Structure 1
């Protein structure tokens, strides 16, 4: 087993490697002999159990722990070999698709043949029962050993890393060995050709040591599981053949597999670190997430077969051509299997399995390994132009934080759940990078017809002219916190909840009647309680809503601290109470749990906007808006931020991007006209002539009054625009030279023209009055703007 792979967990209190060149970044475990499980180097400083520097060598020729020094020449040669092999691959740019990967190609499979195979320079963990000694490692300037005995006096288990097959060997009368390619966790890998099938290339894998019972058992398990597996993302087993040993004549077992000519993600990691194209720009994180998506697809299949992979890490995932394959399934175990040690690599293994082994092995251990694998790749991206834009980096971080949470109950519950959130983050990165939307319906939240807007996209009512304010500024449009819960998406009921079927049945009941009906449900149901909670919020009863959430906590029991639905509904209650800062904290917890979803980002955008944290609000709204242009609430949020900064053009650009297919398109068009023609923040902040010209061009095209050319809505909006137009003419226009100063209507007496139009509009509003008092006010307003008659 290589790269620090172990059977069982580490001893308690093991030291960690702090070498600056260690790929595990301070997490590689130092074994009893002083070597790091990740980088393979001697620890800097004393290691646990180290003997004195002058300790004598053991009988096998291996010195005691403190005398072991890795041979720099051996390590250098190994690194040179890896670079030479990697250099033979051609990496072509990816296509433009969301999950397109660079294409990794190898001109000739024979380029992979190692004509001078060497023993693993870092050695291997001893195969003796319960022994974790490293055997065969290079030391004291000497090369790594091919064969010998474990130096631990109470073990002395033999090891032999010699390749047992040579070029020309014919296995099973069918598979002709071409040469040795590499050593893997449980054995050497050879390239061979199928002489009965057009000399198709195959990979052959044998045991490290014929006498190694642990390796033999693992190989048998590997053969059993792999022959049953059929997934495009998992290495396929073709056959299993025996072959006599050249020296002893004993039959050895070999596994025949499809040959995958590609680079492992460990090789990709090296290219990322060197910022080699195409891993040198911000698309890098899309590639990393795409690797994760493919790995999770394979794991979902394995978990469905009641298997756990156990040892996910970069060196066990292959990128070949434009595809990804999980390889080396020697560590696969049955779910629930409690006997024998678990094979894993320390830095990629979950804390519970490192601590308690097979007793705590579940699918969540694999998800932890995926998170650590992606982190191991992205940590090598040190250049600023490799980082994702906008909120993408934060969403990526939260995705990995949940996958690698110390407490397994805080991790994703399944490979499918993690893949769903991963793909959401992937779409976010893609849309932010290209400013091109990547919409996909959520499986957790239902869309809402409501719009987070309180006036910007609405036609003003008659009260605007009846209030007595002479020169009102444009309404900001930010809704009151108590309105927001009804403009946010609603979580779908959990299908496993006993009340889900009832909640999926349409009802026309009002909130009070709905509370009575759902209260009669005879079973304990968290989803029923959540719905009653939202009904109380509709009625403005946050205390009763909070009581429903306490009932949900009782129903869920120990899982309550890990259920994002509780955080979501607590945030709604806090908004209704006006406690926006507290709501923001609860929505942030939902973002932690669901980093790929729209809903928590939209909610956090509003909270940040309300709390005047406009930088954060911009990032949240942009993440939602760029990914799905039909999300009108995000567009309106961005438009409000632009208008608050005095940027009419920016607001109009965002609102103009709401597509016709969006239910919020018409509101966005109304808001565009109002933004172009309104007073921003102060009565004296008037639009430019260009803004007015655009507003007057758009106004007749608006879909108002059910498509009629005239009606109450069009009359009110026209009156609002003309009132500001009169202000503009009074400030910038002149009766006789208006065309030279700038004319809105192209008439010589611009002021009279605007006054006449505004008078007509206000008299039309007077026809909408529903009381004599309102009629009188509107007629007076019309008379006040009437143009003077010339004699």
Structure 2
């Protein structure tokens, strides 16, 4: 099996567009959306056909390579300009970089050539007018086939099936024709729809050129690249359903029009498992294709490589078949899930890649939601198709639960429990092929939560690697790391805390319905000593959440609980009182937290502090008498709710000791 590279057209730098009877463009301005409506981009005007014609079609010498052996040919040597036609000195193959069709020439008695618009791996690409069908604009591209009339005839016959391909994101194939070449032998051409858009390669080049002052030329934003690829992946899935493989996905072959994102250049499409000539491009083509032939896995590889080439500077030849190390690329450091997506898509072992374009697209959507949430600060929640909905939350009541000691006199364990985590995590949706699936690792991780946390964490990390756009394995990993923090020695605490905080932050930032992540993130920030940031997270829990009250009570305890009186400010007390006062009297534990706030305010006054204003706090005058009365009332109310007689007496005694002195 032979691999042939360089199939797609390249822009010719020596030529400028000719102005041949330009038509008035249909001007559209504004913005539109890609990536399932998640990514907004500016509308780019389509290129009018006549203005795309090159006035002087000369291929840049730097682009001239032998189509047989890949060696440079037609280059300047000894002060003499390179020849546009000749014989390769390395393999003896004939090369020609001059157009074989001239303006005005009619192909197959139907297509009137207007000129060249680009140069591809098998020669020039021509713009023509279809004189038999409403003078529509079409594109003629040479067939990818070895020379010889018989081979050309076979190539034409083999390509007829492409005319039946019909998808809104795939360029339309109209016809397959032959026309005498420069040596008189027939040359096959594909007749395709003209698409007057901009390739992603050109778009990226334009974006980078617009920032010449920057030393680190920026690549395409990750969210934009994901949006474009999400729009063309249904086309790949469609081809795969027909038993076809696109083979040559790369930024040059993805066209952005005013209304769509489309695959162009169908010349490299082949059947799954076909032998013979395999076309592709170095840096994008899967390394195993010469052994396995075209497969769904080889197409998945090109998707991953295309995403990488759009977002990361891959000009170093070391990365022709590998990715840069995560620690060397800021984009990968900032978007770990995106990095994991690329790692799986380009795995050297085809069986480890995504099994289908649909599976990869599902993960792309999840990763895109994370990226957008990070970039915009606005949540972008989505519904998983691989996991059931979260049945319950964990860790939301840990801090308020500590205050139950005021009601029953018993100390309560308020650490995160492995069984609580296991019960709260969602369940994977069943699959028809569980034997070779990440679900095995998921089940092993759940089982290990109650025994070996190290094993559990490794299992959940493998699930993240397999489905990097899913929230469930990140939640499981964060919770497992938090459980380990309660058992590991101090030397391992910091890496685990960073890991834990990273996943909780990503989950909460992306989806504000994942309240467990908010409480987990708040706990990690509080453990670092940053109570203010912890409270900021708790304040993001929406009023509509059933855990809103717990978030407010937890924030109150972070403001006051465990802090020396000298470190408490009047602002802390008033903030805490406002939060408690804003909750319903039926909110669980609000009474005991109310007692804590009033007691803390009383201690603050007795420590010699003076409030700046006399504004009441929780309905009580902000003076010693008022706070004594309020605290006494709260303690007596707690006594009425206590289930233990002895503790009721303790609370009453405490209330009596706090009651203001009476002379009656």
TM-score normalised by L of structure 1: 0.70
Q: Distance in 1 between matches of 2:152 and 2:644?
A: 94
Within 2, Cα distance between the matches of 1:222 and 1:741? 90
Does 2:201 align with 1:263? no
CA contact (8 A) 1:348 1:373 kept: yes
State the alpha-carbon separation in 1 of the partners of residues 371 and 150 from structure 2: 44
- CA contact under 8 A between 1:719 and 1:762: conserved in structure 2? yes
CA gap 1:399/1:221 in 2 versus in 1, 3 angstroms: farther
Identify which of 579, 595, 609 aligns with 1:698. 579
> Aligned residue for 2:525?
642
Q: Does 1:182 align with 2:118?
A: yes
1:625 aligns to 2:558 (yes or no): no
TM-score (norm 2): 0.82
2:175 is the alignment partner of 1:302 = no
Deviation at 1:687, TM superposition (A): 4.2
Cα deviation, residue 167, structure 1: 1.1
Asked if 1:762 corresponds to 2:645, the answer is no
The yes-or-no answer on 1:403 pairing with 2:345 is yes
Asked if the contact 1:187–1:208 (Cα under 8 Å) also holds between the matched residues in 2, the reply is no
Cα distance in 2 for partners of 1:133, 1:659 equals: 61
Q: Is the partner of 1:267 in helix, strand or coil?
A: helix
The answer to whether the 8 Å contact 1:297/1:416 transfers is yes
Give, in whole Å, the separation in 2 of the partners of 1:364 and 1:214: 32
Question: For residues 234-287 of structure 1, what are the alpha-carbon distances to aligned partners after superposition, in whole Å with 9 as ceiling and x for unaligned?
Answer: 111123344455774x65443221111233333234345546499977971111
Please, which of 50, 54, 66 is the counterpart of residue 114 of structure 1?
Answer: 54
Q: 2:596 aligns with which of 695, 720, 735?
A: 720
Contact 1:263 1:319 in 2 (8 A): yes
Report the Cα distance in structure 2 between the residues aligned to 1:464 and 1:390, rounded to whole angstroms: 49
Q: Distance in 2 between matches of 1:432 and 1:597?
A: 16
Q: Cα deviation per residue 1:427-462 (whole Å; 9 max; x = unaligned)?
A: 111111100111111111222232231634645564
SS of 1:178's partner is strand
Q: Tell me the SS of whatever aligns to 1:445.
A: coil
- Residue 297 of structure 2: aligned partner: 364
Deviation of residue 83 (structure 1)? 11
Cα distance, 1:78 vs structure 2: 5.3
Once the 2 structures are TM-superposed, how far is the Cα of residue 320 of structure 1 from its aligned partner?
A: 3.0
SS in 2 for 1:767: helix
- Does residue 688 of structure 1 match 2:628? no
**CA 1:618–1:713 in structure 2 vs 1: closer, same or farther (change >3 Å)?**
closer
SS at match of 1:182: strand
SS state at 2:633 partner = helix
- Find the partner of 1:332 among 269, 288, 291: 269
Cα separation, 2, equivalents of 1:461 and 1:201: 77
Q: Structure 2 vs 1, CA of residues 746 and 599 (structure 1 numbering), >3 Å: closer, same or farther?
A: closer
Cα displacement (A) at 1:573: 3.3
Equivalent residue for 1:292?
Answer: 229
Please list, as runs of the form range in 1=range in 2, the aligned pairs for 1:442-591 lying within 5 A after superposition: 442-453=384-395, 455-456=397-398, 458=400, 462-464=404-406, 466-467=408-409, 479-494=416-431, 496=432, 556=435, 559=436, 563-577=437-451, 579-591=452-464
Q: Which residue is 2:189 aligned to?
A: 254
TM-superposed CA distance for 1:779, in Å, is 1.9
In structure 2, distance between residues paired with 1:375 and 1:222: 33
Task: Tell me the alpha carbon deviations over residues 683-718 of structure 1, each in whole angstroms, 9 at most, x when there is no partner.
Answer: 54754322322332332432463x7xxxx7443332
| In structure 1, C-alpha distance between the alignment counterparts of 2:648 and 2:114, rounded to whole Å | 98
Q: Which residue of 2 aligns with 1:420?
A: 362
CA apart distance, 1:401? 0.6
Mapped to 2, the partners of 1:193 and 1:482 lie a distance apart of 70
Task: After superposition, give the CA deviation of every residue in 1:458-487 in whole Å (9 maximum; x if it has no partner).
Answer: 455643455488xxxxx9965134532223
Mapping for residues 348-359 of structure 1, pairs under 5 Å: 348-354=284-290, 356-358=291-293
The DSSP-based 3-state class of the residue aligned with 2:127 is strand
User: Deviation digits for residues 591-620 of structure 1, max 9, x if unmatched?
Assistant: 211111112222333344434444333322
User: Does the 8 Å contact 1:391/1:619 carry over to 2?
Assistant: no
Determine helix, strand or coil for the equivalent of 1:377: helix
Structure 2 CA distance for partners of 1:746 and 1:699, relative to 1, 3 Å: closer
* Structure 2 unpaired stretches of 5+: 316-328, 486-492
Q: Deviations over 1:477-511 (max 9, x none)?
A: 651345322232222222x16xxxxxxxxxxxxxx
Cα distance change, pair 438–747 in 1 and its aligned pair in 2 (3 A): closer
8 A Cα contact 2:17 2:53, kept in partner: no
Please tell me whether the aligned partners of residues 170 and 264 of structure 2 are also in contact (alpha carbons under 8 angstroms): yes
2:651 matches 1:651: no
Residues 195, 304 of structure 1: CA spacing in aligned structure 2 closer, same or farther, 3 A cutoff?
same
The structural deviation recorded for 1:763 is 1.4
Native 8 Å contact 1:454 1:478 kept in 2: no
**Residue 66 of structure 1 aligns with which residue?**
none
How many angstroms apart in 2 are the aligned matches of 1:209 and 1:763?
A: 92
CA offsets per residue over residues 515-561 of structure 1, 9 Å max, x none?
xxxxxxxxxxx6xxxxxxxxxxxxxxxxxxxxxxxxxxxxx3xx3xx
1:229 alignment counterpart = 165
- Name 1:440's counterpart in structure 2: 382
> Residues 187 and 207 of structure 1 are in contact (CA less than 8 Å); yes or no, is this contact kept in structure 2?
no
In structure 2, C-alpha distance between the alignment counterparts of 1:79 and 1:690, rounded to whole Å: 66
Contact 2:601 2:627 in 1 (8 A): yes
- Total equivalences in the alignment: 627
Contact 2:18-2:51 within 8 A present in 1 as well? no
Instruction: Give me the whole-angstrom Cα distance separating, in 1, the residues matched to 2:644 and 2:458.
Output: 48
Q: Secondary structure at the match of 2:607?
A: helix
- Taking a change above 3 Å as real, the CA distance of residues 218 and 236 of structure 1, as seen in their structure-2 partners, is farther
Cα distance in structure 1, aligned partners of 2:262 and 2:313: 22
What is the rounded CA distance, in whole Å, between the counterparts of 2:89 and 2:217 in structure 1? 45
**Residues in 2 aligned to 1:564 and 1:206: alpha-carbon distance in whole angstroms:** 44
Change (3 A) 1:369 1:380: same
For 2:18 and 2:132, how far apart are their aligned partners in 1? 32
| Residues 99-178 of structure 1 aligned to structure 2 (within 5 Å) | 99-105=39-45, 108-118=48-58, 121=61, 122-126=63-67, 132=69, 134=71, 136-138=73-75, 140-141=77-78, 142-149=80-87, 151=89, 156-178=92-114
Helix, strand or coil at the partner of 1:101 = strand
Alignment of structure 1 residues 728-743 onto 2, 5 Å: 728-733=604-609
- Is 1:344 aligned to residue 338 of structure 2? no
SS in 1 for 2:77: coil
Q: Does the 8 A contact of 1:444 with 1:491 survive in 2?
A: yes
Partner SS for 1:641:
helix
Deviations 1:613-632 (A, max 9, x none): 44333322221111111110
Report the secondary structure of 1:202's partner residue.
strand
Query: CA RMSD, aligned part only?
Result: 4.0
For the residue of structure 2 that corresponds to 1:380, the secondary structure is coil
Q: CA deviation at 1:407?
A: 1.0
Q: Among 2, 5, 8, which residue is 1:8 paired with?
A: 2
1:665 aligned residue: 548
Q: 1:313 aligns with which of 242, 250, 257?
A: 250
Residues 280 and 100 of structure 1, relative CA distance in 2, 3 Å threshold: farther
Structure 1 Cα separation of the partners of residues 409 and 450 of structure 2: 28
